[in-house]
């Protein structure tokens, strides 16, 4: 079955003023949609791949048939990353609670200290990519970033973990409103993090 673009889980203006409606519309309706189309074009060349879930498809990306490996890495990664990204945002944001809040305090010292380190990973990613908070094999929280549409599930990624939070730092994610001011976008983005969803990911990853 072909992969499909799900609608945004909220109206395109729901994340304003942190992320404007026009950016969300282009980001979801053009960029994310193109990853889905290009992924489907790639897997259509290998019917056995069409049976796999998206996660199974991108996890062992280095073992994919060579003629579609890069296309699946970029577009399968793009589809997974954006689907995950939409879900970890919502209007109103909030703060982490419970086991996740305790784990953040234990690992990073405080929520503010965590935000500073995560922000550095996001702002410091050269060119296009993503910053991640994930749970490693040791069940500890870790922060990392990946280039392009790679993610920490992929066996080719420098950092291996189960993602629980991410931010897209491609210019298409912020340029209309923030131009070159990536740090301002990252700072504003904290106000729309859906910590309830991040806590769900954390509970599953442990």
Partners of 168 in the beta sheet? 130
- Any idea of the CA torsion for 193, 197, 199, 204, to the nearest 10 degrees? -140
- CB closest to Mn ion, residue no: 168
Which of 5-13, 40-48, 141-149, 167-175 is the region at the interface with Mn ion (rule: CB under 5 A)? 167-175
Instruction: Confirm if 68 and 37 have CB atoms less than 8 A apart.
Output: no
Determine the Cα–Cα distance for residues 104 and 114; give it in Å rounded to an integer.
7
From the CB of 15, what's the least distance to Mn ion, in Å? 14
Nearer to Mn ion, 22 or 139 (CB): 22
Q: Does 108 bind Mn ion (CB under 5 A)?
A: no
Residues 6 or more apart whose CB falls under 8 angstroms from that of 150 comprise: 73, 77, 129, 130, 156, 157
125-164 mask for Mn ion (x: CB under 5 A)? ----------------------------------------
Residues 181-200 that bind Mn ion (CB under 5 A): none
Binding residue for Mn ion, selected from 80, 130, 132, 170, defined by CB under 5 A = 170
Rounded-to-integer distance, Cα 155 and Cα 32, Å: 22
Interface region with Mn ion, contact rule CB under 5 A, candidates 49-57, 96-104, 144-152, 171-179: 171-179
Virtual torsion, Cα 87, 198, 147, 151, nearest 10 deg = -90
Minimum distance from residue 162 beta carbon to Mn ion (Å): 21
Q: Which two tokens stand for residue 121?
A: 């990973």
Residue 117 · residue 143 · CB < 8 Å: yes
Chosen residue from 130, 132, 168, 185 binding Mn ion by CB under 5 A: 168
Contacts with Mn ion by CB under 5 A: the residue count is: 3
The CA-based angle 36-157-117, given to 5 degrees, is 100
Q: Residue 169 Cβ, how far from Mn ion at the closest point, in Å?
A: 9
- Cβ-based nearer residue to Mn ion, 6 or 113: 6
Q: What is the binding site for Mn ion (CB under 5 A)?
A: 168, 170, 173
């Amino acid at each position: 079955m072909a992969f499909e673009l799900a609608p945004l889980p909220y109206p395109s203006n729901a994340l304003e003023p942190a992320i404007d409606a026009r950016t969300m519309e282009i980001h979801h309706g053009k960029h994310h949609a193109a990853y889905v189309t290009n992924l489907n074009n790639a897997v259509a060349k290998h019917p056995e791949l069409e049976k796999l879930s998206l996660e199974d498809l991108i996890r062992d990306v280095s073992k994919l048939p060579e003629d579609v490996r890069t296309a699946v890495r970029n577009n399968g990664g793009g589809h997974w990353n954006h689907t995950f990204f939409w879900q970890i945002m919502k209007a109103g944001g909030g703060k982490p609670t419970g086991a996740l809040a305790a784990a953040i305090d234990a690992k990073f010292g405080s929520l503010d200290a965590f935000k500073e380190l995560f922000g550095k990973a996001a702002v410091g990613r050269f060119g296009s990519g993503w910053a991640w908070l994930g749970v490693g094999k040791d069940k500890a929280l870790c922060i990392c970033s990946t280039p392009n549409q790679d993610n920490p599930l992929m066996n080719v990624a420098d950092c291996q973990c189960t993602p629980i939070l991410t931010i897209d730092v491609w210019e298409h994610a912020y340029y209309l409103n923030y131009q070159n001011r990536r740090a301002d976008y990252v700072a504003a983005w904290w106000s729309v993090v859906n910590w309830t969803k991040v806590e769900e990911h954390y509970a599953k990853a442990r």
